[in-house]
Amino acid sequence: MLQLQQEIQRNVAAALDEDLGYHSGDITAALIPATQQAQARVICREDCVVAGAAWVDEVFRQLGNRVQVTWQVKDGEAVKADSTLFELQGPARDILTGERAALNFLQSLSGTATVTATYVMALKGTKTRILDTRKTLPGLRAAQKYAVTCGGGKNHRVGLFDAFLIKENHILACGSIANAVAAARQQHPGKPVEVEVESLDELNQALTAGSDIIMLDNFGLEDIRNAVSINQGRCKLEVSGNVTVEALPALAATDVDYISSGALTKHVRAVDLSMRIIKTW
């Protein structure tokens, strides 16, 4: 949580820097008297799963902590169109200066949470769980992975440091799957070792090498079923490659453990949000 809080602070600082011209300021908000106070409301224009409240709070904290943010919903909550998400009260200048940065975070992360929830619902009643990938927006890895959990999904490795994912080019460079897995065990014995395979022959090699997880890359349904039969529960099996929400029930029916999809984070469609000032004084 400490690492995530540090990421939130960095995310928001970068967003405000680019919006304010690296401290040049908000010249439009400066048209408003400094003493003007306002109350504003943010609503969603469509059904969604909310994610990103901490980023909104941090925007107004970094703008001087003069705006009170009152939330009507929580991260991970499914809300209907036209629901009020939160209200703001404080200096009108600060509210308007922080509006776009705050909504950018909230609508993008809620978009990730919402599509993840759709995938999770398609897997309901099965043992298979949906995983994200490293195909995230640059600089927003932790934010999007957090949003995936708000939608009910699970995180794959965070980066290149916390788990091995031995892919085709790693295998070629190491000489074999066995060599790559052995080197991983020797160098970092506590780290999970996953191997991506492209055939049932490679699956057998990865099983013999003692992989913790095996990713079945672009396998057809029949080959996935064969892989599950060959595996016999010896390690976790993950399916990946051009996964669509429509394909999820059939994939889960093969009894694999995980399905990973880059679409959760790379094909982001922001949720439609709107802020309106409802009172000034």
- Known active-site residue 135: yes
- Active-site residue (options: 217, 223, 255, 272): 217
Query: Which residue among 41, 61, 141, 167 is the active-site one?
Result: 167
Give the three-state DSSP class for 213. Answer: strand
Which residue is catalytic, options 135, 141, 225, 266?
135
Indicate if 87 belongs to the active site: no
The one catalytic residue in 41, 100, 134, 141 is 100
Check: CB of residue 251 under 8 Å from CB of residue 224: yes
Quote the DSSP letter at residue 30: G
Q: Which residues contact 202 (CB under 8 A, 6 or more apart)?
A: 177, 195
Q: Is 100 a catalytic residue?
A: yes
Torsion, Cα of 138, 139, 140, 141 (10° steps): 80
Give the DSSP letter of residue 33: -
> Per 3-state DSSP, what percentage of the chain is helix, strand, and coil (rounded to 5)?
45, 20, 35
For residues 132 and 148, give the distance between their C-alpha atoms in angstroms, rounded to a whole number. Answer: 7
154 is annotated as an active-site residue: no
Q: Which region holds residue 200: left if phi is over 0, alpha if psi is between -120 and 50, else beta?
A: alpha
| Residue 137 structure tokens | 């927006």
Look up 246 and say whether it is catalytic.
no
Q: Which residues are catalytic?
A: 100, 135, 167, 196, 217
